[in-house]
Structure 1
């Protein structure tokens, strides 16, 4: 992978920068502190490819202060093709990230090149595609292609176990992990299939053991079936003969039932004829009785007509009685009205006479009413003035209390703000920053702003005192005194109004005294007229009552006559039956004689049919015996048929078992043929699992790569240390707690003292070792066909070296530069910058970072 162009906007402190690296091979990155050298060449590419940020802080914290969006674009060459990755981040709303992976391709239609999208449907899918393309994740990419500021030991400082894992990933050995998993899956699948086949084979063998016994049982079943079928044929012949005899007896039995029915019908008809004869006899008796009472019937019928006429005359007088009741109720209603009017008039006369008797008292009430009216008018005006002055005093008090509350709340608010600002100012001293007054981070910028605001707030708090409240207090006291000076008594005012309301009805009565005398005369005249009308009404009521008594006396016989009429009506009805009774006597005698003849004939027929039935019953008595014999035969046949069914069913089951066993034999032959290839497949997959495992091909590759890595690192380290140091890698270590070895990647360094672990050397010595191993790793990758990162960035990696060793490191960098396609060294040391023929100068500008290339 070779970077061709880096573009970044609003990342960290960088507003915008666009750098073309296509012609850069070995260059130093120069510029003042804070211009963004490390951000542009280390953070921006890693953010674009993997979404990683500085020190793993949140992406939103990397957006430049005062902006809401940042983006990073990296164009690079990889395996002969050019790709572009664009990642953006917005802090608007809930925040949003976008990621694009593109490849530069030829467009035949336009005869030009264009960017073709390789992105997935989500950001996660696109990141996975980038990792798959580069065959690296962020950690491995950083460890193999960048020596960051303060992280020159990114690879060597890892624990020994992690070093070996990182080296394996750099060498592309994770493909063997995937192959190992697939081989294990295949091994498990084949092993499961083989075990299933073995289990099935054992199951089939168990079932096939029973085949001879099943065949012997089938022969016994067939013999029994033949015996039972012969016995069934014999029993069925006997049953047919017995059923023929029973059918003959059942025919006779049916005839006997028919004779019973006919006999029952005859006796029923005889009973009906006897009943009919009896009914005609009763009719004859009733008709003769009517004829015997003919004279009495005619007398009672005449009496019925006389009573009916008298009832009609009396019923015509009944409505007058109801009319009298209605008229009396009406006149009594008028009497009630007259009496009510008379009572009301009498009360008015009494009331008027009482008022005329109190004339002097009412005149005194009028004088008191006039005096109170003038005094209440004065009190009303005083009450209005009192209400205005009291409202003013309430408003003044509210203004005084409001101002007092505002001043108290403002003082509390200022105290709280001052306390918070002091805590923020204390953070400046505790931040550990070299120059906290000029720091650009948000955390310290907020503390600096608090320090500026603190004096103004303390000054405002000191200016708050009680003098601002005094004018409001004095205005409230003056308004209160004005209310008290009015000397207004609300109780006295209320009592005066109540007395005035009490006198008002009397005043109104006094105004009406002149008209009361004339009213009294009219009322007395009305009373006299009402008494006269009452007397006339009482006379009319007496006339109605006399007429009513007379009518009641005349209507007394009506009830007794109405009670006699229904009884006499019965005799009138019987009178109408006399002609019919004479005709019925003649006809009924003839009908009774005919019925006697029919009854005798039917009784004779019934006796003849009874004799025939008795003869048939003697034959039918043998039917239960015949039916019992049939039942026994059917029961025997049922038993035999059940035995036949059981044996037939068993024979069918045995045939099915034999067919199933034949299928089992065929299946056993097939499984036997499958087991041998499956066993061979299992051996092959077990071999591959061992080959792809940790102790297989990956271990061989690492064992072969480590000597080459060790050789390249020693060449570079010897050049940097003038031959004072050399190193070796140990891939295994003896276990202390038990027998065996542990996989590791220890770094053992040799000098004039002897062999020591890498971790025991000083910082400057470790840095040279770090560079040597880093360069060796990069060159090792360049020689392999896996993940080729032909780009090396060194960020401030020379500060801990003295002048002599710094020169050696610089020479080492230049000596290994031809092993990479691109080497970039970020440094603020001028003598180090001058060593490189190509320099990239970065300067802050109005629209972003200006870039100058020098060669």
Structure 2
């Protein structure tokens, strides 16, 4: 069965998990307002009063710090306004630990004067702190509000009533009071219940529409049932006729397959007979060829017998040819000996020609080397001038590189000085704003003396007039102090600015020119090959001598 709407509405609410008394455990601050580093533990404290001089930081530690840690809504309006106005204080942090029922939480908030912030909330579970933060600060802030069950306005109206804000709830608008009461009494659950009821109603209407559509379709199908039945009978009869046609087609297919099988057997037999005929024809051809060869041999033998006389004459002529061959072989041996002697003489002649050719090549090479050496000696003056000019250019490069190093070192010094000036100027502006706010606070309190209409202001013993008189006395010394401080700070800034201006003037006087240095290096690269050629002139002179 579905759950009740109220159970469904509270299932996803943090209020269903975190309920009970809100109890502060500890507050820890660093660089917060007038505190450099402070920690206070609320353990074993159920009721107490806090006494101290005005401006000592009672409200800052026990009220402002808790509110800024949970919601970060500084009274100055500037999110960095709670960071201590000190040159060494670059950032500040607030850590507030509290419990709700059986759950213990710790909220950590940090911020730098440049505006960068972090926010973390952790829960103490089984002896260890477990992170409950989100990736984005706004999501973590929403989680803190969900855990508390209160936004800043509700928290300041009922949980932590700030100084001079006791009537915050009564002075709030009707909408704000409804919001505060709604947060305190968890009336938001009824908005969730209404939303869930609306969603359930929408879903139910959708399902009803779907079921009505299904019923409508079923009604149409029922009305057409008779026509569907007749169509089904016609389809069944068509199927039976198609089955008869199919059986007849199968029978015809089997008959055709049988005929095809017989034709394949006849075709195979025909192919075998054809192969046998080809083999017999090849054998017949071979026998005919052999018969032709035998007949040719017989004809040749007959022809030989007919030419017997010619054969005897050729034999006698062959004997004569043999005798003449022996004489020619003897003459050939003698000619070979003479040819071998001629070949030896020809080898000697070729060797002499090779020596003559090599000598000619050596002479030509020597003439070419002498000509090249003469040309290099002729160019010696030009190479010498290039080598001398290279020395001058290299000297210029060395001087310009020294200026380059000095230029870069001084540029780094100027950059560091400008960064120091920016930091000092930012610190001056922050502290000047803080001092201005202090003066305005003292002046506002001092004006109460004029607005009080007290008969004897000097003897007045009421607390707010005592604060006003203290503020007036503070103004008498604080304004001159601020004036002297401002003068010193401006002098310090002027001194830094003057030092930067002097360094910039020195930078202009160095005389470094990147384009000139690049041109000198390019000129040196073009002169180096000629200077290298000049150094080789001495080697050529040695070769000539």
> Is 1:40 matched up with 2:61?
yes
> Is 1:148 matched up with 2:162?
yes
SS at 1:33's partner residue?
A: coil
Structure whose alpha-carbon radius of gyration is higher:
1
Native 8 Å contact 2:154 2:184 kept in 1: yes
The equivalent of 2:321 in structure 1 is 303
SS at 2:67's partner residue?
A: helix
What CA deviation, in whole Å up to 9, does each residue of 1:672-720 have, x standing for no partner? xxxxxxxxxxxxxxxxxxxxxxxxxxxxxxxxxxxxxxxxxxxxxxxxx
CA distance in 1, matches of 2:232, 2:360: 130
Q: 2:492 aligns with which of 440, 453, 462?
A: 453
CA distance in 1, matches of 2:360, 2:131: 111
Structure 1 spans left out of the alignment, 5+ residues: 104-114, 343-390, 464-504, 510-855
What CA deviation, in whole Å up to 9, does each residue of 1:509-566 have, x standing for no partner? 9xxxxxxxxxxxxxxxxxxxxxxxxxxxxxxxxxxxxxxxxxxxxxxxxxxxxxxxxx
> 1:269, CA displacement in angstroms?
4.0
The equivalent of 1:215 in structure 2 is 232
CA distance in 2, matches of 1:129, 1:339: 104
Q: 1:86 to 1:194 in 2, by over 3 A?
A: same
What CA deviation, in whole Å up to 9, does each residue of 1:240-295 have, x standing for no partner? 89949x959975x8777766665555555444333332233334445555664644
Q: 1:264 to 1:341 in 2, by over 3 A?
A: closer
> 1:172, CA displacement in angstroms?
0.7
Q: 1:302 to 1:337 in 2, by over 3 A?
A: same
Native 8 Å contact 2:34 2:57 kept in 1: yes
Structure number with the bigger relative contact order (C-alpha 8 A, sep ≥ 6) is 1
Q: 2:93 aligns with which of 57, 70, 87?
A: 70
> Is 1:319 matched up with 2:319?
no
What CA deviation, in whole Å up to 9, does each residue of 1:426-471 have, x standing for no partner? x96998546499989xx9999565234268679999x9xxxxxxxx
Q: 1:120 to 1:175 in 2, by over 3 A?
A: farther
Native 8 Å contact 1:102 1:116 kept in 2: yes
Structure 2 spans left out of the alignment, 5+ residues: 1-20, 364-394, 441-474, 503-540
Native 8 Å contact 2:33 2:84 kept in 1: yes
Q: 1:303 to 1:227 in 2, by over 3 A?
A: same
The equivalent of 1:167 in structure 2 is 181
The RMSD of aligned alpha carbons is 6.1
Native 8 Å contact 1:7 1:17 kept in 2: yes
Give the alignment of 1:582-601 within 5 angstroms.
Answer: none
CA distance in 1, matches of 2:242, 2:361: 122
Q: 1:59 to 1:231 in 2, by over 3 A?
A: same
> 1:198, CA displacement in angstroms?
4.1
> 1:42, CA displacement in angstroms?
1.7
Native 8 Å contact 1:6 1:45 kept in 2: no
Q: 1:141 to 1:258 in 2, by over 3 A?
A: closer
> 1:186, CA displacement in angstroms?
3.8
SS at 1:319's partner residue?
A: helix
What CA deviation, in whole Å up to 9, does each residue of 1:124-158 have, x standing for no partner? 79866654453223332123334435656654665
Q: 2:288 aligns with which of 270, 274, 278?
A: 274
CA distance in 2, matches of 1:174, 1:447: 53
Native 8 Å contact 1:74 1:86 kept in 2: yes
> Is 1:16 matched up with 2:30?
no
> 1:217, CA displacement in angstroms?
2.5
Q: 1:269 to 1:277 in 2, by over 3 A?
A: same
> 1:338, CA displacement in angstroms?
9.7
Give the alignment of 1:239-388 within 5 angstroms.
Answer: 239=255, 243=259, 247=262, 266-286=280-300, 292=307, 294-295=311-312, 298=315, 299=317, 303=321, 307=325, 309=329, 313=333, 314-332=335-353
> 1:36, CA displacement in angstroms?
1.3
Q: 1:339 to 1:200 in 2, by over 3 A?
A: closer
What CA deviation, in whole Å up to 9, does each residue of 1:152-210 have, x standing for no partner? 66546655444433332222112223333444444444444444444445555556646
Native 8 Å contact 2:121 2:131 kept in 1: no
Native 8 Å contact 2:80 2:113 kept in 1: no
SS at 1:228's partner residue?
A: helix
Q: 1:444 to 1:142 in 2, by over 3 A?
A: farther
CA distance in 1, matches of 2:238, 2:361: 123
Native 8 Å contact 1:8 1:72 kept in 2: yes
Q: 1:191 to 1:270 in 2, by over 3 A?
A: same
> 1:326, CA displacement in angstroms?
0.9
> 1:303, CA displacement in angstroms?
3.5
Native 8 Å contact 1:73 1:85 kept in 2: yes
What CA deviation, in whole Å up to 9, does each residue of 1:772-818 have, x standing for no partner? xxxxxxxxxxxxxxxxxxxxxxxxxxxxxxxxxxxxxxxxxxxxxxx
Native 8 Å contact 2:123 2:132 kept in 1: no
CA distance in 2, matches of 1:241, 1:428: 113
> Is 1:122 matched up with 2:161?
no
Q: 1:165 to 1:202 in 2, by over 3 A?
A: same
Q: 1:268 to 1:38 in 2, by over 3 A?
A: same
* TM-score (ref. length: structure 2): 0.50
> 1:297, CA displacement in angstroms?
6.0
The equivalent of 2:27 in structure 1 is 7
CA distance in 1, matches of 2:273, 2:433: 135
SS at 2:153's partner residue?
A: helix
Q: 1:431 to 1:288 in 2, by over 3 A?
A: farther
SS at 2:194's partner residue?
A: helix
